[in-house]
């Protein structure tokens, strides 16, 4: 070459120009194809699905620009300043995990971390429970537990005569996701009366009547404590009668436990109904979540367990649960379960955890009592005693959908349209504002129906 010093730059320039021309040609070709050659897709026939009732409200709250806005919709704990709270015991456990050289990010087994599962089941059933008869697997929090449990029951519970699906009776009202979960499991979702809107209290007589009328061998879904959304739990005497009725009808119990320890501040007391049913000889199925009581909302930490009669039954049930899980999500995440395991294997952290849990329950109950007090102070003449009698995260107020809509449109107070208020969203800075707004939309109107 006569100009060797120009050869490399010129070569690079031509290569760049060629690449540009090639990209331009490909872009034009793709544009032509997209305009003329693509046939109609099945995607054009996919309908728009409805937004989730609760998460949609949360999104509306985020986009609201009103400085007065209050979120009493989503069931997640907030501290006295309205902020999410990581339990100090959970934070300490997490810090230990970060510096533990034995911790890794390997896959968990299909059934999850066996040590975590044992500790979780001991937390629910009691440390003196016969673990050899408990078939337990780690799940994607309580939702995943319900999904796996529903699939298992749909497959193995005998169908009542004349029915092509296994019926599951869930309380009316209940957590809204229960309906979709068990429908998608192929079960026949039915309702039993639970809440009496004329008294704003448990409809115990209706509950008993509906469980008596249910076909023999139905699955009965029960909230272990702090019923969502009503906060109305049966007394222990009533639980005993429900247990006897279920046994006489040969029904199958499915407990959903999302609030153990969070409800009353006493995890042992909150497990009383579950443990009663086990002591009465029921082959209980239990969906257990650590979202609320450990504050592990985003870690998706839970278990599903089945009380079996023998080691042989346990082995068979475990094998079938694994066969359900493997093609569904293969194995569970490990971070949240490692936190729970770390807390429950250390005496000091366990003691601190129980204090943390009691602190949450105490604040929630204080807001429950104060809301009723402030409602009276601002002039409400309604009887709000049902609110103070309830337990757990929510207050089921008795307000109708029109009242709830007015709270949102007029006061930017976001809540579900069934009148459920998340007490965790209340604090000393907003409770008077909320009480005055509730008084405004309910004054002169009935909160019973």
The active-site residue, picked from 210, 239, 292, 341, is 292
Q: Which residues on neighbouring strands pair with residue 358, listed in sequence order?
A: none
Task: Decide if 85 is catalytic.
Answer: no
User: What distances in angstroms separate CA 142 from CA 257, 331, 387, one per listed residue?
Assistant: 8, 15, 26
Task: List the catalytic residue out of 210, 233, 256, 418.
Answer: 256
CA atoms within 13 A on the CB side of 29: 6
Of the candidates 175, 188, 203, 239, the residue annotated as catalytic is 175
Is 355 annotated in the active site?
no
Asked if 392 contacts 368 with a C-beta cutoff of 8 angstroms, the reply is no
Is 292 considered catalytic here?
yes
Query: Active-site positions?
Result: 175, 256, 292
């Amino acid at each position: 070459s006569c100009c060797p010093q120009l050869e490399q730059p010129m070569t690079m320039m031509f290569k760049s120009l060629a690449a540009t021309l090639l990209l331009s040609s490909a872009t034009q070709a793709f544009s032509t194809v997209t305009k003329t050659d693509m046939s109609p897709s099945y995607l054009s026939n996919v309908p728009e699905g409805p937004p989730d009732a609760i998460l949609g409200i949360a999104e509306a709250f985020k986009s609201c620009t009103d400085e007065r806005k209050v979120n009493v919709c989503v069931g997640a704990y907030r501290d006295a300043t309205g902020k999410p709270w990581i339990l100090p015991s959970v934070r300490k456990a997490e810090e230990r995990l970060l510096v533990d050289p034995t911790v890794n990010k390997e896959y968990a087994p299909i059934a999850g971390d066996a040590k975590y599962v044992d500790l979780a089941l001991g937390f629910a059933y009691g440390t003196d429970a016969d673990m050899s008869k408990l078939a337990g697997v780690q799940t994607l929090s309580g939702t995943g537990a319900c999904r796996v449990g529903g699939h298992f029951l749909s497959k193995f519970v005998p169908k009542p005569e004349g029915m092509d699906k296994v019926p599951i009776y869930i309380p009316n009202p209940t957590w809204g996701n229960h309906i979709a979960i068990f429908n998608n499991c192929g079960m026949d979702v039915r309702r039993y009366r639970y809440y009496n809107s004329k008294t704003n209290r448990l409809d115990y007589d209706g509950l008993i009547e509906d469980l008596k009328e249910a076909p023999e061998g139905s699955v009965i879904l029960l909230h272990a404590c702090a019923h969502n959304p009503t906060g109305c739990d049966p007394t222990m005497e009533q639980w005993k009668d429900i247990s006897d009725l279920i046994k006489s009808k040969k029904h199958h119990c499915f407990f959903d436990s999302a609030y153990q320890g969070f409800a009353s501040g006493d995890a042992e007391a909150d497990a009383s109904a579950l443990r009663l049913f086990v002591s009465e000889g029921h082959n209980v199925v239990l969906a257990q979540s650590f979202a609320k009581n450990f504050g592990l909302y985003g870690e998706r930490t839970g278990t599903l367990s089945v009380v079996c009669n023998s080691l042989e039954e346990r082995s068979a049930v475990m094998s079938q649960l694994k066969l359900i899980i493997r093609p569904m999500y293969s194995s569970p995440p490990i971070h949240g379960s490692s936190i729970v395991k770390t807390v429950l294997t250390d005496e000091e952290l366990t003691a601190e955890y129980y204090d943390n849990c009691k602190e949450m329950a105490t604040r929630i109950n204080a807001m429950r009592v104060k809301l009723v007090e402030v409602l009276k102070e601002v002039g409400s003449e309604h009887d709000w005693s049902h609110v103070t009698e309830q337990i757990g995260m929510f207050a089921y107020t008795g307000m109708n959908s029109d009242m709830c809509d007015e709270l949102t449109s007029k006061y930017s107070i976001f809540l579900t349209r069934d009148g459920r208020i998340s007490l965790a969203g209340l604090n000393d800075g907003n409770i008077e504002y909320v009480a005055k707004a509730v008084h405004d939309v309910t004054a002169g109107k009935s909160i019973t129906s």
